[in-house]
Amino acid sequence: MTYVFSPPAIASVAVAGSDARFPVRRIFCVGRNYVDHVREMGNDPKSEPPIFFTKPADAVVESGAAIAYAANTSNLHFEVELVLAIGKGGADIAEADAASHIWGYAVGVDLTRRDRQAEAKKVGAPWDVAKAFDQSAPIGAIAPAGAALTKARIHLDVNGVTKQDSDIAEMIWSVPEVVAHLSRSWALQPGDLVFTGTPSGVGPLAIGDQVQCAVEGLPPLSFSIVAR
């Protein structure tokens, strides 16, 4: 097959303990999935179905990277999240079958242009500018799934100071519920990543900040924020 220009490289994420890479097809994200964060943002927990939005596959950034402070914002926020790596596709997946579709788990950060998100919310506009920008999805190495993750500490530090500290057991929508709900609107495929929401404590980042975060039992993630 001949292309009019060379196709871009496939985005991928490191796999813990292996030289293999996890190819990324799409990135789905869940909004408002921890009770404390929902209240922090002025909303009512579980008053409505999960909110989903997406990021482009090439928004992924490896652990250890220097991430340029995003353009078109003066209020860049961190949001630490458990990430699901989908290894088996399907639509209308039952909650009881969700675990069989998960290839692995990782820790990620949903970088957010909070000022642009506030503007979008005010007029009911999509969140693309606020969420789906370059380098907006740093992610640690993916650990192949073993037992289902139902309880694990999730936390994020900026310059050695803890900003977010919770447990994935505090998610409003559990991992099986997230997979089931998501698969009702999109047919999931191998290579999809699902960011499952963030606890309270989200806040701004500045040039020079060093970020470290982890989900208990998974490879940690670290990155720095640098000038464009």
Residue 2 lies in a domain: no
**Both structure tokens of 224:** 């720095």
On whether the CB atoms of residues 107 and 155 are closer than 8 A, the answer is: no
- 156, β-bridge pairs: 164, 213
Residue 160 lies in a domain: yes
Residue 95 lies in a domain: yes
Range of the domain at 199: 12-226
On whether the CB atoms of residues 162 and 129 are closer than 8 A, the answer is: no
- 61, β-bridge pairs: 138
Residue 156 lies in a domain: yes
**Both structure tokens of 117:** 């998100």
Give me the average pLDDT of each 10-residue run along the chain (228 residues): 94 97 98 73 66 96 98 98 98 97 98 97 95 98 91 98 96 95 97 96 97 98 97
At 42 the pLDDT is: 60
Q: Which of 71, 60, 19, 7 is nearest to 228 (CA)?
A: 71
Residue 123 lies in a domain: yes
DSSP 120: H
Residue 22 lies in a domain: yes
Q: Which residue has the tokens 């292996």?
A: 18
| Cβ within 8 Å of residue 193, ≥6 positions away | 13, 24, 26, 27, 28, 60, 83, 84, 85, 86, 108, 137, 139
Number of domains within the chain:
1
CATH number, residue 53 = 3.90.850.10
At 43 the pLDDT is: 64
- Cα dihedral 62, 148, 198, 173, rounded to 10, equals 140
Q: Could you tell me the sign of the dihedral formed by the alpha carbons of 137, 95, 25, 126, in that order?
A: negative
Q: Residue 32, Cβ neighbours under 10 Å: how many?
A: 22
Residue 6 lies in a domain: no
Residue 4 lies in a domain: no
